[in-house]
Each structure stands twice: as C-alpha cells, then as structure tokens.
C-alpha cells in the first residue's frame, strides 16, 4: 500500500497536533469494527492507526515530512543522519486496536448497544480523558575523545516523579545504562522512552534524551572521522626534511618521515589512523598532521648571505 498519512486522516500537511488528534478521534470511532460492518472498514481502521502513530509523534512526523514513506520505513540516508540516531527503520506494530486503546483509554468508548447487539449512533458519548506526553527532557552526555574512539558504558542515576494508581506522587531513582559505540559523534541522541517525570494522573512520562557532547582533547581535534594533530617544527626541518614521532589516540608511537618541503598549507595525511566509522568500526578515518613552522627571530648578516646563496 502506498500510504499518504495526511489523506488517510483527511487533513493537510499544515495540520497541528490538535487537528491530528481531532481527525483520528472522529474517523477511528466511525470505522471501528464495533461501529460499522461496512466492507473495507477493518483495513481503513488499521490505516488510521498507522497514520496517527506516525503523525502524532514529532520525530516520526519530521522524518516522514522530509524523507517520505521510503525514508521513514527504509531508514534515512547516512548523509542526513546524525550518528545513526535517526536512521532506524519504522514499522507499525500492526495492532490498530492498541493505538485506539492508548488514545481513548479504553477499548470501547461507545459501548451502547441495542437488544440485538447492533451498535447505535454515538449519541451521549461520555467524555474520554486523553493522556498526553510532556516534551522530552534533554541532557548533555559529556564524553572524551578516547571514550568515543574505544566505546564504553556509562551508568547515569536519574531522579524522577512517579505516580501510583491512587494518584500519589513520589520521587524515585533509577540507573540508566548507555552503551557508547565507537565512532559516535557530537550531537548523537540517545532516547530513553517514558523515563522522565510524570507530572499528573493524565500525563504520560516524558522521554529522556541524552545528547553527546565531546570534551576537548590535548593532542587531537576531530573533524568528522578524521583527527587533526598540530606539530611544531623549525624552519630548517621544513626545508631539509625530518621525521616526526606522533602518539596515536590508542597509545602507539608512529614515526612519519617527511621528505617534502613543508609550507604553510602543507598537510601530511596518514590513512587509517583517525576515528572508527560508526557504520563500520573496523574502518577508520585519517590522521592529518598540520605543521607550525617556527621562524628564527633574528638573523645575522652572514647568515642572511648564506641563506640567499643557498636558495639561488
């Protein structure tokens, strides 16, 4: 089926959250199996469940609006993803009744039947309390470049308000575990669904979202999957050649011969010594060495003469 979720809910793309809820409420009641036995109503009811599941979720809706059904169900192309956090494929759970129950709070909000068990018109329906979810709570997850290179597990204690069946609130703590994968980048988002505060009996606990923030490193600057190293050399070395010893991020000392004349725009690229690629940690970016040339502060007349003679 080539779905158009907006057409399914009979709304346009400018519809806001309240419009989406209103459209689903009316159509789900109309096409619910307990409401009608018309041919095709079961399929339409299932389509409504999937459309609402996507358009009521800001992240799914944003993915669908930008990349269409192919991007939503097939996964966002790697060049648009942020460390893979948005690249997971969407699949509807296939239970429109579950979507209906979650929306209305019960499985049959119009349980008014005649003696022959034929559903009557929806007259005098009792108001249904619709639970809403608070906006996600975002927290920074500070990681060193070494942790992003090797991967690690971070344990984070959170405190949150929870409510029991009687509506009484209490504060409880919980340990969240985050498995950091090698190659994660700045801005990678890790979502813990419904682990935030529950602020009222009719509210759904907010999601907690951790956002990767990379700490500065004393030797390397990261650019994508590459690592940049800055090395100081003398003017003599720049002109006559030399070898430079560089300590890699995983602790190895490598000797790199430089036989070229080093100028201000010169860069030495060492393949495969950068960060691991998130999609394939066995592959790595490059190490790129930039050189700062230290010029002498003063030169005697004799030295200037010798330099001029050597450079002719």
62: pLDDT confidence band, cut at 50, 70 and 90?
A: confident
CATH number of the domain that residue 81 is part of: 1.10.287.110
Same domain, 107 and 201: no
Shortest CA distance to 149 belongs to which of 273, 288, 290, 253? Answer: 273
For 80, list phi and psi in degrees, rounded to 5.
-100, -15
pLDDT at residue 85 greater than cutoff 60: no
Q: How large is the average pLDDT for residues 47-72? A: 88
Query: In the listed set 99, 130, 161, which residue is the last one of a domain according to the structure?
Result: 130
pLDDT at 1: 42
Domain boundary among 214, 244, 260: 214
Q: Do 34 and 118 have their domain in common?
A: yes
Report the number of distinct structural domains present in the chain. Answer: 3
**Are residues 82 and 10 located together in one domain of the fold?**
yes
The answer on 244 and 181 residing in a single domain is no
pLDDT of residue 141: 96
Residue 168: phi, psi to the nearest 5? -90, 135
Residue 89 is predicted with a pLDDT of: 80
pLDDT digits 0-9 by tens, 242-255: 999 999 999 999 99
For the segment 104-153, what is each residue's pLDDT rounded down to a tens digit? 776 665 553 333 344 444 433 444 557 788 889 899 999 999 999 999 99
Q: Which helix (H) or strand (E) holds 236?
A: helix 235-240
C-alpha atoms less than 13 angstroms from C-alpha of 99 in its C-beta half-sphere: 24
Mean local confidence (pLDDT), 86-98: 79
pTM: 0.55
**58 has pLDDT over 50:** yes
Q: Are residues 147 and 106 in the same domain?
A: no
pLDDT at site 35:
74
Residues 73, 10 within the same domain = yes
Q: Are 245 and 260 found together in one domain?
A: yes
Q: What is the pLDDT of residues 268-283, one digit of tens each?
A: 999 999 999 998 989 9
Over residues 25-33, the mean pLDDT reads: 87
106 shares a domain with 123: yes
Same domain, yes or no: 190 and 146:
yes
- 293 and 192 both lie in a single domain: no
Place of tokens 């019960």: 106
Burial environment of residue 311 by CB neighbours within 10 A (0 to 12, 13 to 18, 19 or more): exposed
Rounded Cα–Cα distance for residues 18 and 25 (Å): 11
Choosing from 180, 214, 248, the residue where a domain stops is: 214
CA distance 233 to 230: 10
Same domain assignment for residues 183 and 226: no
User: Distance between CA atoms of 13 and 88, rounded to whole angstroms?
Assistant: 23
pLDDT for 65: 87
**Cα–Cα distance, 6 to 159 (Å, whole number):** 39
**d(C-alpha 11, C-alpha 3), whole Å:** 14
Burial of 170 (0-12, 13-18, 19+ CB in 10 A): exposed
CATH of the domain at 249: 2.60.260.20
- Report helix angle 41-55 to 58-74, nearest 10: 110
| Residues spanned by the domain of 246 | 220-311
Same domain, 76 and 91: yes
Query: Does the pLDDT of residue 199 top 90, yes or no?
Result: no
> Rounded to an integer, what distance in angstroms lies between the CA atom of residue 40 and that of residue 50?
16
Quick one: pLDDT at residue 108?
60
Report how far residue 31's alpha carbon sits from residue 9's, in angstroms, rounded to the nearest whole number: 12
């Amino acid at each position: 089926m080539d779905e158009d979720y907006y057409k399914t809910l009979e709304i346009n793309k400018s519809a806001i959250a309240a419009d989406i809820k209103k459209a689903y409420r009316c159509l789900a009641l109309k096409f619910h199996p307990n409401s009608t036995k018309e041919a095709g109503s079961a399929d339409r009811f299932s389509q409504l469940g999937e459309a609402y599941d996507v358009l009521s979720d800001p992240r799914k809706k944003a993915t669908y609006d930008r990349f269409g059904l192919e991007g939503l169900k097939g996964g966002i192309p790697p060049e648009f993803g942020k460390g893979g956090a948005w690249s997971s494929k969407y699949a509807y759970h296939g239970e429109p009744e579950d979507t209906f129950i979650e929306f209305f709070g019960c499985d049959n909000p119009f349980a008014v039947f005649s003696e022959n068990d034929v559903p009557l018109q929806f007259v005098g329906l009792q108001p249904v309390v619709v639970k809403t979810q608070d906006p996600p709570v975002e927290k920074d997850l500070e990681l060193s470049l070494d942790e992003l290179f090797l991967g690690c597990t971070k344990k984070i204690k959170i405190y949150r308000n929870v409510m029991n069946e009687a509506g009484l609130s209490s504060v409880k703590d919980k340990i969240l575990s985050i498995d950091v994968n090698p190659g994660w980048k700045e801005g990678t988002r890790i979502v813990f669904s419904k682990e935030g505060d529950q602020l009222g009996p009719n509210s759904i606990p907010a999601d907690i979202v951790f956002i990767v923030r990379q700490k500065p490193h004393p030797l390397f600057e990261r650019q994508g999957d590459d690592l940049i190293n800055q090395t100081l050399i003398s003017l003599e070395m720049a002109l006559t050649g030399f070898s430079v010893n560089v300590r890699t991020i995983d602790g190895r000392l490598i000797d790199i011969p430089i036989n070229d004349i080093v100028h201000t725009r010169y860069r030495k690229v060492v393949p495969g010594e950068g960060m691991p690629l998130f999609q394939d940690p066995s592959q790595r970016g490059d190490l790129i060495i930039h050189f700062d040339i230290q010029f002498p502060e003063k030169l005697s007349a004799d030295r200037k003469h010798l330099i001029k003679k050597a450079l002719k």
